[in-house]
């Protein structure tokens, strides 16, 4: 039902309300949420990755924001409203002015000072905290806001799912110590669950990489959909769940046998790929090959060793090496480093110690202890067999680098992993003292020691959440909103407005429901019933009251948009029926 704080009154008659539905699908929309939000008159694109929210969408957005606000306040959050435009100095202090690169929108004021549009607000909140918080007695604090965030994404896509300008609820916790942070983090975790539950979503919290923002215990809240860009691995049996940028899996023992005492070179003319070597006489199956990838990590050459049938996850490579810029080496860089071309590369005999061109040899954990393997010989058209990793290769670092696949063993029980696509609607993680250290936000403890404030960061993308609900809940006819975030609870469809009796009955019902706090939209347009039914389905209002032919018996139809089930209700009892239904939702 409606609440005083977000009441959105006014005469909600479709004939004068702006809901520009489209009869056909927009040409440039691929994913369901994009297609439906445009077609149902919720959003319009202004430019790539930038959308206008029309009245219906703004109603949904405000409802989502109100749910978030209530749950943040419940755990002691205090709402702020911070600037979107930030001085470069602040971001230089934290080091992110450089780190963010092209993803940050930048501008210059009339005096020539560099400014940036906020991507998140760690810096601004920390700058407030460092000036005003000096004592452990002032902690903990939970501060949050909902503000427009700007990110100059290289490739905006999928409607509201990946944009360059969007509303984010971002919250930050400030504690004296790790124990305090642990508590703040747990509170946020449960608040996030409450928020997504209330939005009617099925979601999965997963372990994740923290990315450029830095931090630990990164947890993403994911909603399963093929429109999502992330892949997550989930074990139904024990509940293990992780982004593939983080996930590990349990693989069967390869059962290697002893090979020769030293690697043997053999000619492999024309062999360039793992596949080629499988089929080559005297070659090896993919899981007995060592794949050697050459990467440039912050301008240094690194060899990345993977099992032949495994795929590298670049985020894992970044996380495990602490690199900022990572890319595959170009053909000429490869030849210069190893003296051979891709297809014949290997790490045997290569050393990262002084003088060499290679500065790091990093290998995936699954190669540990492997013996009698086959790999490139660093001589075109030649390979080595009988390679035992620990004996023959000087690995500098072992790490989990591979991308797990569906069906592989769960790392924490004897179940199996399911890997699927999902969209990230929320992200919480422990920042620790990253920003308080770099920006000098310190407090005195009870013992009189000066310590950096321990921080946490907690974000939710509001419009993305809206789109995720649509992805999660729609059918061929349109959107199906849960009551909690629906733009209206009920739509009253008058089948023929030229019929005085129907019109009057519709108006009366509308007045009655509205007075009772039910958010109703009266479809009083002079359109044929079919058009109105289709539009009602499209915009996704959860219940429809049809004022039509049953009126003669003093009844109207009450239809559930999601189940398509309808019942005839005496017009005098509509409000009661709705009350029961809406409360139950």
Taking Cα atoms as reference points, which of 177, 263, 214 lies closest to residue 449? 177
Question: Is 531 near RNA (CB under 7 A)?
Answer: yes
3-state secondary structure of 197: helix
Choice between 328 and 415, CB closer to RNA? 328
DSSP 4: G
- Kindly state the tokens that stand for 423: 């969209």
Query: CB of 343 within 8 A of CB of 226?
Result: no
Q: And the tokens for 23? A: 């009869």
**Residue 376 in the binding site for RNA (CB under 7 A):** no
DSSP label of 212: G
Give 3 or 501: the residue with its C-beta nearer to RNA: 501
Site map (CB under 7 A) of RNA, residues 89-108, x = contact: --------------x-----
Cβ at position 556, least distance to RNA in Å: 8
Binding residue (CB under 7 A) for RNA from 116, 283, 459, 506: 459
| Site stretch for RNA (CB under 7 A), options 127-135, 408-416, 431-439, 525-533 | 525-533
Considering only the stretches 104-112, 137-145, 264-272, 494-502, report the one whose residues sit in contact with RNA under the rule CB under 7 A: 494-502
Of 22-30, 56-64, 109-117, 480-488, the segment contacting RNA by CB under 7 A is 22-30
**In angstroms, rounded to a whole number, what is the distance separating the alpha carbons of residues 564 and 560?**
5
Is residue 68 close enough to count as binding RNA by CB under 7 A?
no
Q: Which residue stretch of 56-64, 135-143, 312-320, 388-396 sits at the interface with RNA (rule: CB under 7 A)?
A: 312-320
Q: Give the three-state DSSP class for 191.
A: helix
Decide: is 48 part of the binding site for RNA (CB under 7 A).
yes
513 binding RNA? (CB under 7 A)? no
354 class by beta-carbon count within 10 Å (0-12 exposed, 13-18 middle, 19+ buried)? exposed
Distance CA 402, CA 397 (A): 14
Which residue from 153, 264, 507, 512 is in contact with RNA, where contact means CB under 7 A? 153
Is 23 a binding residue for RNA by CB under 7 A? The answer is yes
> Per CB under 7 A, does 292 bind RNA?
no
Contact 422, 227 (CB under 8 A): no
290 and 346 Cβ atoms separated by less than 8 Å: yes
Among 537, 545, 569, 578, which residue interacts with RNA (rule: CB under 7 A)? 537
Shortest Cβ 113–RNA spacing (Å):
25
Contacts of 148 (CB under 8 A, 6+ apart): 84, 165, 166, 167, 168
Does the protein bind RNA through residue 166 (CB under 7 A)? yes
CA distance 22 to 471: 19
Both structure tokens of 364:
């995936």
Minimum distance, C-beta of residue 343 to RNA, in the bound complex (Å): 20
Q: Does 319 bind RNA (CB under 7 A)?
A: no
Does residue 158 belong to the site contacting RNA (CB under 7 A)? yes
Q: Specify the residue, 552 or 584, whose C-beta has the smaller distance to RNA.
A: 552
Within the chain, how many helices (H) and strands (E) appear?
15, 31
Both tokens of 112, joined, read: 């020539």
| Alpha-carbon span 254 to 274, nearest angstrom | 18
Query: Any alpha helices (H) in 154-235, and if so which ranges?
Result: 178-198
How many residues in the shown chain lie near RNA by CB under 7 A? 65
Q: Please choose, out of 60-68, 261-269, 388-396, 495-503, the segment that lies near RNA by the rule CB under 7 A.
A: 495-503
- Does 123 contact RNA by CB under 7 A? no
Using rule CB under 7 A, residue 424 touches RNA:
yes
Is 155 an interacting residue with respect to RNA (CB under 7 A)? Answer: yes
Q: Using CB under 7 A, which of 35, 59, 69, 162 touches RNA? A: 162
State the Cα–Cα distance between residues 558 and 490, nearest whole angstrom.
9
Could you say whether residue 362 binds RNA (CB under 7 A)?
Answer: no
Structure tokens at 83: 């600037």
Query: Pick from 466, 473, 531, 472: which is nearest to 497 by CA?
Result: 531
151 sits near RNA (criterion: CB under 7 A): yes
Q: How many CB atoms lie within 10 A of CB 229?
A: 12
DSSP labels for 457-516? EEEEEHHHHHHHHHHHSEETTEE---TTT-S-SEEEEES-TTSHHHHHHHHHHHHHHHHT
Residues 207-246 contacting RNA, CB under 7 A: 210-213, 229
Can residue 248 be called a binding residue for RNA (CB under 7 A)? no
* Interface with RNA, residue 189, by CB under 7 A: no
Stretch of 42-50, 127-135, 372-380, 398-406 contacting RNA, by CB under 7 A: 42-50
Q: Should residue 498 be labelled a site residue for RNA when binding is judged by CB under 7 A?
A: yes
Binder of RNA out of 26, 55, 95, 200 (CB under 7 A): 26
Span near RNA by CB under 7 A; candidates 43-51, 299-307, 362-370, 372-380: 43-51
Q: Which residues of 298-316 are buried (b: 16+ CB within 10 A; e: fewer)?
A: eeebbbbbbbbebebbbbb
Residue 546 backbone dihedrals phi, psi, to 5 degrees: -100, 115
* Residue nearer to RNA on the CB measure, 376 or 461: 461
d(CA 193, CA 207): 15
Considering only residues 192 through 211, tell me which ones interact with RNA, judged by CB under 7 A: 210-211
Question: Which of 394, 421, 442, 549 lies at the binding interface for RNA (CB under 7 A)?
Answer: 549
Of the listed pieces 155-163, 354-362, 441-449, 483-491, which binds RNA according to CB under 7 A? 155-163
Residues forming contacts to RNA in the complex (CB under 7 A) are 21-28, 30, 45, 47-49, 103, 119-120, 149, 151, 153-158, 162, 166, 168, 210-213, 229, 314-315, 318, 326-327, 424, 426-427, 459-461, 464, 477, 495-496, 498, 527-531, 533-538, 546, 548-550, 557, 559
């Amino acid at each position: 039902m409606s609440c005083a704080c977000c009441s959105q009154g006014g005469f909600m008659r479709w004939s004068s309300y702006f809901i520009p539905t489209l009869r056909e699908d927009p040409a440039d929309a691929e994913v369901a949420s994009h297609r439906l939000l445009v077609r149902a008159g919720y959003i319009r694109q202004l430019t790539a990755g930038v959308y206008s929210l029309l009245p219906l969408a703004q109603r949904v957005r405000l409802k989502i924001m109100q749910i978030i606000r209530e749950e943040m306040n419940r755990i002691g959050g205090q709402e702020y409203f911070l600037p979107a435009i930030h001085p470069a100095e602040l971001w230089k202090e934290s080091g992110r002015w450089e780190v963010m690169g092209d993803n940050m929108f930048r501008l210059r004021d009339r005096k020539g000072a560099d400014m940036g549009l906020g991507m998140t607000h760690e810096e601004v909140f920390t700058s407030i905290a460092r000036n005003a918080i000096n004592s452990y007695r002032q902690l903990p604090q939970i501060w949050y806001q909902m503000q427009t965030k700007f990110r100059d994404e290289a490739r905006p896509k999928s409607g509201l799912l990946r944009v360059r300008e969007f509303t984010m609820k971002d919250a930050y916790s400030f504690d004296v110590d790790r124990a305090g942070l642990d508590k703040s983090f747990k509170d946020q975790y449960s608040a996030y669950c409450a928020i997504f539950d209330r939005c009617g979503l099925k979601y999965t919290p997963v372990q994740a990489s923290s990315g450029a923002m830095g931090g630990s215990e990164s947890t993403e809240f994911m909603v399963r959909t093929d429109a999502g860009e992330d892949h997550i691995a989930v074990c139904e049996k024990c509940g293990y769940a992780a982004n593939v940028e983080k996930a590990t899996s349990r693989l069967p023992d390869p059962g290697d046998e002893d090979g020769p005492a030293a690697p043997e070179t053999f000619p492999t003319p024309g062999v360039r790929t793992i596949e080629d070597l499988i089929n080559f006489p005297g070659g090896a199956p993919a899981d007995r090959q060592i794949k050697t990838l050459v990467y440039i990590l912050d301008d240094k050459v690194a060899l990345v060793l993977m099992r032949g049938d495994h795929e590298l996850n670049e985020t894992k490579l970044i996380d495990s090496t602490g690199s900022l810029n990572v890319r595959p080496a170009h053909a000429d860089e490869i030849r210069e480093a190893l003296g051979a071309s891709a297809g014949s590369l290997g790490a045997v005999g290569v050393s990262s110690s002084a003088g060499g061109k290679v500065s790091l040899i990093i290998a995936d954990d699954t190669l540990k202890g492997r013996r009698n393997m086959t790999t490139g010989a660093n001589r075109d058209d030649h390979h080595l067999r009988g390679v035992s990793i620990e004996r023959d290769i000087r690995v500098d670092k072992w790490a989990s680098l591979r991308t797990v696949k569906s069906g592989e063993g769960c790392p924490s029980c004897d179940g199996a992993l399911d890997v699927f696509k999902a969209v990230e609607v929320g992200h919480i993680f422990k920042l620790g003292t990253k920003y308080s250290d770099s920006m000098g936000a310190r407090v005195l403890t009870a013992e009189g020691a000066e310590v950096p404030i321990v921080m946490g960061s907690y974000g939710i993308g509001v419009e993305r959440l809206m789109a995720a609900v649509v992805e999660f809940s729609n059918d061929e006819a349109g959107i199906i909103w849960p009551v909690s975030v629906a733009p209206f609870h009920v739509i009253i469809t008058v089948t023929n407005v030229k019929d005085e009796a129907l019109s009057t009955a519709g108006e009366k019902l509308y007045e009655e429901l509205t007075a009772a706090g039910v958010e109703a939209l009266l479809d009083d347009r002079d359109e044929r019933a079919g058009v109105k039914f289709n539009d009602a389905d499209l915009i996704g209002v959860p219940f429809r009251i049809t004022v039509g032919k049953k009126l003669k018996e003093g009844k109207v139809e009450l239809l559930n948009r999601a189940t398509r089930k309808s019942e005839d209700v005496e017009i005098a009892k509509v409000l009661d029926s709705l009350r029961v239904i809406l409360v139950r939702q």
